[in-house]
Amino acid sequence: MQAAPGAALSEPAADVPATRASRRYVLTLVAVAATVVLVDRVTKAIALDRLADGRVVVLVDPWFQLRLVFNPGAAFGFAGSYTIIISLVAIAVVTVIVRLAPRLRSVWWAVALGGILGGALGNLIDRITQDPGVFRGYVIDFLEWPGFPVFNLADAAIVGSVAIVFVLSLRNVPYDGRPLTDGERG
């Protein structure tokens, strides 16, 4: 296939439909996000069922235990009085990742953004479905290390995925597979 007159040979045209390879990255992102949401929802349901009576289950004394907490704030209990703003930020994060997904050309970026997407959706589901109301609902947290705020698997997915994004950024790995310019390499 020939490029249009004046078009660069090394870059795909913006209006070219998604290739099989680009679909692979989107599917990776979706699979990671769906797995995070599924595992998060299942573990939260178990926590609600088994810990609702105030019971604390010590798994590794004194390092790790399960304790049910209803968190109005962001990850790890921060910003408790900004629940609606946190909900809007989560919606913005989901929107940005969904819009960015078709341009992914890196499996590691797909995994990282899928983890962030899944974690954001997992906690957003709580904010929509839990008391005291839509976009004000408490997030279900249940994992506890001594001296550290109680958290859930969605929080862990977000933090772990942000760490991957940080490493990818430090290594100048582009999310879209394009070669970096000299200015972008630093």
Is 15 known to be catalytic?
no
Q: Report the pLDDT value the prediction gives residue 165, as an integer from 0 to 100.
A: 97
Residues in the chain: 186
Low-confidence ranges of the chain (pLDDT < 70): 1-18, 21, 74-81, 180-186
Annotated active-site residue 155? The verdict is yes
Secondary structure (3-state) at 49 = helix
Alpha helices in the chain (DSSP H): 20-51, 83-100, 107-129, 153-170, 182-185
Query: Exposed, middle or buried, 139 (CB in 10 Å: 0-12/13-18/19+)?
Result: buried
CA dihedral 133, 120, 25, 169 (to 10 degrees): 150
Instruction: Given the residues 49, 141, 176, 182, select the one marked as catalytic.
Output: 141
CA distance 158 to 150: 15
pLDDT at 86 (0 to 100):
86
| pLDDT at position 79 | 63
* Average pLDDT of every residue of the chain: 86
